[in-house]
Amino acid sequence: MRHYEAPCRLVDFSSSFYIATYFAIRNARTDAAVVCVDHTWLSERFHSLPDSGKVLQDPEVFWRHAMRHPYAVPPETIDREPFVIPVRPFRSNDRIHVQQGTFLCPTNVNKTFLENLGAMRRNGDEDEVKKHVVKIRIEKAWHPRIMHSLREMNIGSETLYPGLGGFAASLRDILYLPDQLIDDGRLSDAIKQIPRFWE
C-alpha cells in the first residue's frame, strides 16, 4: 500500500546514497536535501530498549513497540515512548529490492517524525542525534547535471519502478536533459533532422 501512496507513517529510505539523491531531486522545484541516518545506531538504540526482542521485522515485536502500548487498556490511552524503529518487511517486492529500500517508523503518532528522532538521545546528550543524522543540501542549479550523471549510472524511474509505470515516469526525467544536449550541440542537430521525417 505504501508504494501506491496510501497514507502511512513509514518513511521511505534507501541504503543507496545515489538512489536517495535521485528521489530527492526528481520532482524538486527548489533546493533539495538527502537525510542520512546511521542505521547501526538506530538498531543499537532499539535493542537497548527493555523487552525489545531480537528480530525487528518480527510482527509481534513491531506490534509491541510501534503499534500500541502493551499495558494500556484501551491501548490508545497511553502514548508510546518517542522513538524511531528501522524496519524492512520479510515479505518484500521488486521495488524494495531495486530501490535498496528500508523504512523508518516513528513509535509515537502524536509527535512528528523529527520529535520521535530527537527523543532518542541518551543521558541528555544534545549532540547524540547530530552525530548520527546528517542532512546534505543539493542546490537547484546542480540538479540537471546530477540527473544526467545518475542516468549514466542507470538510475531513473525506468529502473527503480519496474514495468510500464516506471517507463512512463522516466519520460519526466528527460526534461532535465535538454541543457546537456544544447551544450553538446546534439539538440540542434536533432531539430535539423525533423523535416526529413515528414518528407
**pLDDT of 23-48, one tens digit each?**
999 888 899 999 999 999 988 888 77
Domain housing 89: 2-140
Does pLDDT of 165 surpass 90?
no
Rounded CA gap, 107 and 113, in Å? 9
Residue 107 near residue 81, CB atoms below 8 Å: yes
> End-to-end alpha-carbon separation of the chain, Å?
49
Identify the residue whose cell numbers are 535493542: 47
Q: Is residue 158 part of a domain?
A: no
Burial of 124 from C-beta contacts in 10 A (0-12 / 13-18 / 19+): exposed
Query: What percent of the chain is helix, strand and coil (3-state, nearest 5)?
Result: 50, 15, 40
Q: What percent of the chain has pLDDT over 70?
A: 74
Q: Is residue 179 part of a domain?
A: no
Identify the residue whose cell numbers are 530527492: 24
Burial of 4 from C-beta contacts in 10 A (0-12 / 13-18 / 19+): exposed
- The mean of the pLDDT values for the chain is 78
Split at pLDDT 50, 70, 90, the class of 85 is confident
Q: Is residue 122 part of a domain?
A: yes
Please report the DSSP string for 34-98 in residue order. EEEE-HHHHHHHHHTSTT--S-TT-HHHHIIIIIS-TT-SSGGGSPPPP-EEEE--SS--HHHHH
Rounded CA gap, 65 and 57, in Å? 11
Higher pLDDT, 191 or 46: 46
**pTM beyond cutoff 0.85:** no
Q: Is residue 127 part of a domain?
A: yes
CA pseudo-torsion sign 49, 51, 56, 60 = negative
Residue 9 near residue 115, CB atoms below 8 Å: no
Rounded CA gap, 113 and 198, in Å? 56
Question: Span 74-89, mean pLDDT?
Answer: 72
pLDDT of 74 reads: 57
Count of the separate structural domains present in the chain:
1
